Structure 1
Amino acid sequence: MQAPLMHQHKEVRYTQARGYRAVDLVYRGGDLSMLVLLPDRKDGLRDLEEALSARMLQDCVAQMDTREVRLFLPRFKITWGTVNVRDQLTLLGMPLAFNRFQADFSGINGHEPPHEDSLFISGVFHKAFVEVNEEGTEAAAATASTMIRGSSLRPSKPPPVPIFRADHPFLFAIRDRRNGTILFFGRMADPTRAS
């Protein structure tokens, strides 16, 4: 079965590395982007995941050039279920906020602990989703030009336009382009089932 794919021919940040190709699709505003890593082989997702590291992602982004690409991506929406992140926040240094007898939110309701009406945080819940469709990702475009004098040089043949066809499993990351922070990381295991 073939994956139903959106198609665009546009300038995007692109690189081809050993075993995979990648595009970085910049969201409106320019601060966030979706980095898509596509294995060269249709069965290459496991190898790509095993090679994955922070350094590999940094190198991937550093090697990208802005160029014209024929881009084929599936429409998809991935939802992460609701998760209580209380334990993670406690480990990150805010255990008192969750302690019934030590949390001090008296600025909200006027009751200091251990008053029976004092406030404390019982849980912090996180739910996330990523949706990709024609309107959801807007790629940045940049144009570079060079000038030569006269016609003494024959024009060189432009390089072939790469085709980025995400019709098999791939990885994606939503990242903050200003500092490289990965906000979401996901795997599209079956683009034929994407909506």
Structure 2
Amino acid sequence: MSGPMDDPGRFEEVYRRTYLPVLRFLRRRLPPAAAEDAAAEVFLAAWRNRHELRGGELPWLYGIARRVAANAVRARDRAHRLDDRIRADHEAGAEPAAEEEVLRRLGAWGVLDRLPEREQEVLLLVAWDGLGVRDAARVMGCGVGAFKVRLHRARRLLEAAVAADEARLPDDRLPVEGRTR
């Protein structure tokens, strides 16, 4: 190799020279669209691990490509197995998860679906996933104070949506404590 791979210009020159051979290598192992995605992963991994280059660039890149392709095949196989299992459960008339059934029965799933996506996520992290405010804030990528504001806003939106639903229900479908005499 004639020149350090740390130099972005040198890396770009290697990329231009080796992209098509790497892509052809991946296309023999993966579907065309997956091969293009995998090629991007190969060069990202190559840039991150450029200090590990020993010997020729193309054999080194092929080694990375082989691992990326193997990961893609494993991921595809897992997705197919999961899809098959979901399809089999559905065809067998499998019952929905208990939580989903409770939400469906309460009509809460429909109310939750009408909330903006971020508010749904805030509520689910706390109420469903059982995270504390600090951990939920970390998941959302915000500070604890900002998360508390989001949670407060989401709870108010949920309360308003539930109240609106109750206003549309006939009196005999309301919970006992909400019925008028």
- Aligning the two structures, in what range does the TM-score lie when normalised by the shorter sequence? under 0.3
Per the normalisation by structure 2, the TM-score is 0.20
Larger of the two Rg values belongs to structure: 2
| Greater helix fraction, Structure 1 or Structure 2 | 2
Give 1 or 2: higher strand fraction: 1
- TM-score between both structures, scaled by the size of structure 1: 0.19
- Higher RCO by CA contacts (8 Å cutoff, separation 6 or greater): 1
